[in-house]
Amino acid sequence: MDSYDWMERALADPASLDAAAGHTDWRVRYAAAVAMGRRRDPVHLPALFAMLEREAGRPLYDQPRATFPGSHDDTRMAEQILAVHETFDREAGEEEREAWKCRGRVKQACLFAIGDIGGADAAQRRAVEACLRDGDDVVRMAAARALGRIGDGASLAALSGLLDAPEFCSRTEARKSTARLRAAAPEGSAT
Amino acid sequence: MRMGEPFLLEDVDGLRASLLSGSDRRTALFEMLRSSARAAPQDFAWFVPFVALMTRDPGDVERARNTIRIYVAKLEPMSFCSGLQFHFWCFAFPHAKVSLYFQWLCTIGAFDAEEEERIRRRLVAYHFVNFYYGLRTKPDPECVDNQTLSLALSTALVGVLFDEGGPGAGGGMARIMRDEGLARLPTVLGHMDPSGYSGEGSSYMDCVNGPAIPLAIELLERVTGERDLLRKGFPPNDAQPVKVLRMVAREFMPGGLLLPWDNYGYQFGVRSTLAYGARKTGDPLFSYLLEKECIFTYDIGIGWAYDDLVWTLVWWPAAGADADCPMDWAEPRVGGALVSTDRNRYCAQLWDESTPDVPTRAHVNPNAVLFNGYGTPLSADGAPVPGGAPRFQYADTWRTIHHFIGAAPESNYGDGCAGAHSVLIVDGKESLRAHSEQPQLGAVDARPGARTLRADVTPLYRENFPDVRRVERRTALHEDAFFTVEDRFDAEESHVVASRFLLRPEWTEPPFGVAIRTPEGATLHLAEVLGGCRIHRESVAGHPAKPDGACRLTDFVSEGRRVRRLFVAFLSRDVDDGEALPGFQALADPRDDLADVRGALFASGLRLDLACPAYMEAALPVSRTWWYGRRVRRAAGPGYLKLPLGLIRPALFLDGRAIDLAPWAASRDLIRPVVPIPADLASVDELEVVLRTDVPVSHYDGDGDGTIGFSGGIAACRPLEPERLLHAAYRDGILEVGTTSRTYRIPYALMED
């Protein structure tokens, strides 16, 4: 079964999710995380945090700038229907190159799922808060979004660092989640 | 995957018949696309699938198969591209287009079953992990812009194309993308500003939002079964998608250039949006612009795909153009334009809100005025030359940008702030901009029918100067002949207040006020009639990059707590429209020297009018360098040659003498060069005119900024005695303006205190 079939199976068959969550291809793990979020079943939380931990150990943001002879390393490539190939200033193995393509995708999907499932415990909330300091705006945004659903009073301090972030999406989700947590806080609590 | 008919082209047989057997402009345009696609399929790849669908010619179909294969092979290396990782919406939209073209080709059996399945799986999975992911990065519903629209539309489209039905039938990824894309798309449409203007400037309105609307409407109508969604008010803003199309049309100025409303400056407009608007609404403005103002040799990406001409053909309206269509407009939260009946005098006043802190695309232009005379821009606005223009780089407008993996360069966004626009500058605060989400606009009185636009922009200025009480500007067009621009400033404390106008070169020296004459012979004379201000003039190098690589900054300055100014803006010209010169002998030859080609050129049996590159006009090779020559009889005396728009690496020879075209190097992509005939040749009554020009031979020659194949032909022009402003005065409520043609006495009440 190739990765495409695994992805489709993860989205269709809950019994395949644990295996998909541990698959070697990050695309399959991504699909598994999306599927878990759609099911909203807390039984998947351990697998999601396990995937997050696995991502933390991957060289997701280590890619050096690529060059593309005959093309461009920017949005001009989007407009081209041309053969392209990438070159880097150093050698990289297959796992490393796959990590570069992945960047924060699996993390985002896990954080979305964690937020949509809800019911995280304190240690899990702290793990999500740590993602607010991720090197990728996409991950920070997803973590901020999740905390609006699973966070507690302590999460407000973590979110405060993004309230005036220059990047719109993470700033917006941080502000939304902050408002949501404050609205949900018991009267008289320190928020 | 949806099979049966090509999606969105259900009447493909009717379309095919009209394109293959007609004899109108639409047919000619299709022939241009077909010629390009057959002659150079890899260079004009975005035309190839549509041509194949129309002709079903085996050669065209094979070229289309290869186009899809090349795209699919590109996907993995593209994953390493900084553009994909940081600007994924730019890749999502073209990915959806290629997916759509793939579906079209499958309906004519272009692929065998195994390859069809392999490509389908690749397209679906790639969109899921890159662009469905991208859509989820955009906060819902707060993100409403060209990026989110592209992501929502593309995700919905790919999902709809490849969804294969219920559980067990496959299509999980496609079903998710279908459902979430279709849920998000109406939300984005409904959160758009009711004016139709997204605040992102002309480029993203024209190249992304506008072209996205027809596809969004056609997709939603097919999926929901609803009709006339173009005019539906989508909640919560009751935003009608037709307003987006209408605002795209309003961005056009006489002459075909769009308002320089952002950091891209002046540019031409796309056509497919206008075609759809004309087809679906019958509004004459769309037809008029499509027929009279569009450049059809302009090849620019719409949604980052060079298929604007494809969709123009698909949406082409049935009705012809209304020759007499007003171009005045106004939107309460955006701005407006006043245009003389003959379209020779144009003034826009813009007051749309800018993005707080970093005005990237949504520039700071509180009551900015932009003039256009005789189809020629008179005002300067846009982006600086590469590397920036130091004049508009301020100490407090530096930022770090994250556009590339492994690099975070600094850039200065000062050119997006007030100082680089024709607005009021207070106490020299050129980096003035908003710093919060509070409203930037007060009361507006915009009545284009009454030829008046007025807006109060006090809130923006008060945020920066708390004692400011009133900042207003009113623009009016009087008797179709001249404009007034009235400024009003009130504050608790005294301030230095400058009414700034950024103008195109070059100064002339009128007896009063300030005046410029553009290289094309259009003139603007500004005279302040209430008195009490001094004039500061400054030549600025490097801004804007186009059309001149420079501008002439003019400040009318005074100091006080209460400032009132009334400007008369008189537009004129000193070169006529000219007489077209058709029938040039033409030769494709890569050599650079006239001596090498002259014999072959004047032996050529090919005669063309320089309306467009030869390969677009006839079944000719896609050659890069072309020579054109003929002898021109003319009455002796001073004159000009108006050359085609969009010349590339041009050379002009008159009676064998090379004419220096360097003065038009920056402007010739936007404005037809008007080249004076040297004085010693002006007395001859027959001239040999030879023009060499390159033409684009690929979508990509413009390095991402699109290309223009030359258009417009060559014309012989004569000097005109311009109508000049002789005097302007305001006394006892009467504005008296005297020109060389007539004197106007107009009752004019200043804005009330």
* Position B499 confidence tier, pLDDT thresholds 50, 70, 90: very high
Q: What pLDDT is attached to residue B619?
A: 73
Least confident of B116-120, B272-276, B392-396: B392-396
Q: What secondary structure does DSSP assign to B480-491, as a single string? A: TTEEEEEEEEEE
Residue at A27 is within a domain: yes
* Partners of B584 in the β-ladder: B608
Amino acid making up residue B662 = A
Question: How many CB atoms neighbour CB B348 within 10 A?
Answer: 25
Residue B170 has what pLDDT? 47
**Nearest neighbour of B139 by CB, restricted to A82, A105, A173:** A173
Shared-domain flag, residues A54 and A68: no
The CB density around residue A19, as the number of other CB atoms within 10 Å, is 14
CA pair distance B80, A67, nearest whole angstrom: 9
Q: Is the pLDDT of residue B368 over 90?
A: yes
Same domain, A112 and A54: yes
Reported for B324-331, long-range contacts at CB under 8 A and 24+ positions apart, including other chains, are B325/B284, B325/B285, B325/B287, B325/B288, B326/B285, B327/B252, B327/B253, B327/B254, B327/B285, B328/B448, B328/B449, B328/B451, B329/B250, B329/B448, B330/B446, B330/B447, B330/B448, B330/B453, B331/B195, B331/B196, B331/B197, B331/B247, B331/B250, B331/B446
Set of chain A residues whose Cβ sits within 8 Å of the Cβ of B46: 81
Residue A45 φ/ψ region, left for φ over 0, alpha for ψ in the -120 to 50 degree band, beta for the rest: alpha
Please tell me the distance in Å from B128's CA to the nearest CA on chain A. 9
CA distance B357 to chain A (A): 9
Q: Is 90 exceeded by the pLDDT of residue B268?
A: yes
Position B128 pLDDT exceeds 50: yes
Within 13 Å of residue B168, how many CA atoms lie on the same side as its CB? Answer: 0
Q: Is residue A154 domain-resident?
A: yes
Task: Characterize A35-48 residue by residue with b for buried, 16 or more Cβ atoms within 10 angstroms of its Cβ, and e for exposed.
Answer: bbbeeeeeebbebb
- CA-nearest of B128, B98, B100, B96 to B1 is B100
Q: A82 CB near a chain B CB, below 8 Å?
A: yes
Average pLDDT over chain A, rounded to whole? 94
Q: A68 touching B, CB under 8 A?
A: yes
CB contact (8 A) between residue A79 and residue B136? no
* Reported pTM: 0.94
Please, what's the b/e burial string for B417-427 (b: 16 or more CB within 10 A of its CB; e: otherwise)? bbbbbbbbbbe
Q: Which residues in chain B touch residue A85, judged by CB atoms under 8 angstroms apart?
A: 77
Helix (H) or strand (E) holding B585: strand B584-588
Q: What is the DSSP string of A92-127?
A: --HHHHHHHHHTTHHHHHHHHHHHHH----HHHHHH
Identify whether A190 is part of a domain: no
- Give the pLDDT score at B199: 87
Cross-chain residue pair B403–A81, CB shorter than 8 Å: no
How many of the other CB atoms lie within 10 Å of CB of B641?
Answer: 24
Nearest residue in chain A measured CA to CA from B355: A168
Q: For residue B503, list its beta bridge partners.
A: B379, B552
Q: Which of A102, A129, A163 is the endpoint of a domain? A: A102
In chain B, residues with a C-beta closer than 8 Å to the C-beta of A141 are: 137, 139
B96: left (phi over 0), alpha (psi -120 to 50) or beta: alpha
Residues 4..33 of B with a Cβ closer than 8 Å to A: which?
A: none
Q: Residue B23: which pLDDT band, with cuts at 50, 70 and 90?
A: confident
Asked if A180 reaches chain B (Cβ–Cβ under 8 Å), the answer is no
A120 and A174 together in one domain? yes
pLDDT at B712: 93
Average pLDDT, integer, range B542-550:
95
Task: State the smallest CA–CA distance between residue B138 and chain A in angstroms.
Answer: 6
Residues A44 and A109 in one domain: yes
Confidence (pLDDT) at B167:
47
- pLDDT tens readout for residues A135-184: 999 999 999 999 999 999 889 999 999 999 989 999 999 999 999 999 98
Residue B753, token pair as written in the block: 């205190």
Q: How confident is the model at residue B124 (pLDDT cuts 50, 70, 90)?
A: very high
- The rounded distance, in Å, linking the Cα atoms of B390 and B393 is 5
> B377: helix, coil or strand?
strand
DSSP code per residue over B124-154: HHHHIIIIIHHHHTS-TTT--SHHHHHHHHH
CA dist B309 to B294, B441, B654, B752, Å?
A: 12, 38, 36, 50
Residues A82, A46 share a domain: no
Question: Would you say B710 and B613 are in contact if contact means Cβ atoms under 8 Å apart?
Answer: yes
- The whole-number average pLDDT for the span B486-492 is 98
Nearest chain B alpha carbon to A112 = B136
Q: What is the mean pLDDT of residues B498-526?
A: 97
DSSP B393-421: --TT-EEE---BTTB--EEE-GGGSGGGS
pLDDT for position B362: 61
Mean pLDDT of B416-439: 94
Tokens representing B106 are 């499958």
Tell me, yes or no, whether A189 lies in a domain.
no
Residues A82 and A107 in one domain: no
A63 inside 8 A of chain B by CB: yes
Mean pLDDT check: name the lowest of A99-113, B493-507, B601-615.
Answer: B601-615
Query: 39-78 in B: which are within 8 Å (CB) of A?
Result: 42, 45-46, 67, 70-71, 73-74, 76-78
What is the C-alpha separation between A132 and A158, in angstroms, rounded?
A: 7
Let me know if residue A191 belongs to a domain.
no
Of B484, B216, B201, B442, the residue nearest B338 (C-alpha):
B484
Claim to verify: residue A151 and residue A170 sit in the same structural domain: yes
Which CATH number characterizes residue A159's domain?
1.25.10.10
d(CA B56, CA B35): 15
Taking the C-alpha atoms of residue B137 and residue B135, their distance in angstroms, rounded to an integer, is 5
- B39 min Cα distance to partner chain A (Å): 16
Cβ <8 Å between A112 and B136: yes
Q: What share of chain A is helix, strand, coil (3-state, %, to 5)?
A: 65, 0, 35
Paired strand residues for B572: B523
Q: Do residues A125 and A177 share a domain?
A: yes
- Residue B74 has its nearest CB partner, among A11, A63, A83, at A83
| Contact between A35 and A11 (Cβ < 8 Å) | yes
Query: Using one digit for the tens of pLDDT, what is the confidence trace for A35-84?
Result: 999 999 999 999 999 999 999 999 999 999 899 988 999 999 999 999 99
* Residue written as token pair 């698909």: B314
Angle, alpha carbons A112-A114-A115 (nearest 5°): 65
- Same domain, yes or no: A71 and A163: no
Question: Considering CB atoms only, which of B90, B137, B170 is closest to A8?
Answer: B170
From A102, A131, A155, the end of a domain falls on: A102
* Other CB atoms within 10 A of residue B614 CB: 22
Q: Are B321 and B288 in contact (CB under 8 A)?
A: yes
Minimum Cα–Cα distance from B705: chain A residue: A76
**Are B700 and A82 within 8 A, CB to CB?**
yes
Provide the pLDDT confidence category of residue B259 given band limits of 50, 70 and 90. Answer: very high
Beta strand residue intervals within B57-136, DSSP E: none
Assess whether the previous peptide bond of B506 is cis (omega < 30° from 0): yes
A26 belongs to a structural domain: yes
- pLDDT, position B743: 98
Alpha-carbon distance of A146 to A143, in angstroms, equals: 5
Count CA within 13 A, CB hemisphere, residue A39. Answer: 20
Domain interval for residue A84:
61-102
B308-339 pLDDT per residue, tens: 999 999 999 987 767 678 999 999 999 999 99
A-B CB pairs within 8 A amount to 150
∠A22-A28-A31 over CA atoms, to 5°? 110
Please check whether residue A130 touches B, CB under 8 A. no
Mean pLDDT of B351-378: 90
Mean pLDDT of B209-228: 96
Interface of B with A in 370-429 (CB under 8 A): 399, 402-407
Q: Phi and psi at residue B490, in whole multiples of 5°?
A: -135, 140
Residue-wise pLDDT for B647-658, tens only, equals 999 999 999 999
Q: Which of B683, B579, B689 is nearest to B631 (CA)?
A: B689
Q: Is the CB of A139 inside 8 Å of chain B's CB atoms?
A: no
ω into residue B621 within 30 of 0, thus cis?
A: no
Residue type, B381: D
The span from the CA of B263 to the CA of B381, in Å, is 9
Q: Judge whether A180 lies within some domain.
A: yes
Total structural domains within chain A:
2
Q: Answer yes or no: do A84 and B172 touch at CB < 8 A.
A: no
Residue B562, pLDDT > 50, answer yes
- Express each pLDDT in B585-635 by its tens digit: 999 999 999 999 999 999 999 999 998 898 877 778 889 999 999 999 988
Of the candidates A22, A150, A98, A65, the one whose C-alpha atom is nearest the C-alpha of residue B404 is: A65
Q: What is the dihedral of CA B92, B97, B103, B105, to 10 degrees?
A: -140
Token reading at B566: 């009334």
Who's near A184: CB < 8 A, 6+ residues apart?
none
pLDDT in tens, B642-688: 999 999 999 999 999 999 999 999 999 999 999 999 999 998 889 99
Residues A121, A93: one domain?
A: no
A21 in a structural domain: yes
Residue B680's pLDDT is: 92
If one compares A131 and B301, the residue with the highest pLDDT of the two is A131
Identify whether residues A98 and A120 lie together within a single domain.
no
The chain-wide mean pLDDT, for chain B, equals 94
CB contact under 8 A, B83 and A77: yes
Query: Which of B727, B696, B741 shows the shortest CA–CA distance to B306?
Result: B696
- Residue B168, pLDDT above cutoff 60: no
Is there a single domain that holds both residue A91 and residue A148? no
Phi, psi dihedral angles at B315 (to 5 degrees): -95, 0
